[in-house]
């Protein structure tokens, strides 16, 4: 992921620390709740998810994303980072796989937040008919994302890409 605008916020945690999923949830939810802080930054791209880095420190980063209906991430993890995302507008569907191929879908609505640990795999998609906006926070900043495919045999690793390309 690369920034398309100058970074807005540069708060700093203690050097070398990793923020907890709970702290990242508070951070993402707090920003998502302040629509006046991000509304003018958001762009909607019907061809792909749009993203903008709002904050980057040695310990964490915060991203703003917009989602047209049908846009999604595919199954992925966060390269060892912990994270959280909060919905600021619309709703997103989070798919997780349990027991091999059993998919659980959770709807994350405006104001709601989801957090996860370093080995968590999910697929997030805008399954609604309206655009959505979300705020994502990761600690440490994302080094890479590992991609997976859901097959009849379960999730299978398909490759790793630098976070900038995700």
Regions of the chain short of the pLDDT cut 70: 1-16, 165-166
| Structure-token pair, residue 129 | 């008919």
CATH number of 21-165: 2.60.120.10
In this prediction, residue 166 carries a pLDDT of: 59
DSSP state of 13: -
pLDDT confidence of residue 17: 77
**Residue 93 CA to chain centroid, in angstroms?**
12
CA 137 to chain centre: 7
pLDDT single digits (tens) 46-71: 999 999 999 999 999 999 999 999 99
> Is 71 in contact with 94 (CB distance < 8 Å)?
no
């Amino acid at each position: 992921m690369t920034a398309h605008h100058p970074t807005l916020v540069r708060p700093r945690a203690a050097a070398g620390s990793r923020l907890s999923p709970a702290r990242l949830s508070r951070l993402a939810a707090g920003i998502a709740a302040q629509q006046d802080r991000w509304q003018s930054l958001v762009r909607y791209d019907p061809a792909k998810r749009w993203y903008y880095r709002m904050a980057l420190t040695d310990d964490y980063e915060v991203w703003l994303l917009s989602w047209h209906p049908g846009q999604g991430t595919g199954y992925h993890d966060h390269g060892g980072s912990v994270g959280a995302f909060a919905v600021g507008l619309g709703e997103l569907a989070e798919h997780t796989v349990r027991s091999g191929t059993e998919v659980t879908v959770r709807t994350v609505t405006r104001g709601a937040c989801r957090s996860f640990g370093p080995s968590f795999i999910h697929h997030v998609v805008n399954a609604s008919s309206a655009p959505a906006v979300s705020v994502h926070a990761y600690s440490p900043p994302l080094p890479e994302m590992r991609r997976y495919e859901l097959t009849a045999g379960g999730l299978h690793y398909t490759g790793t890409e630098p976070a900038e390309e995700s």
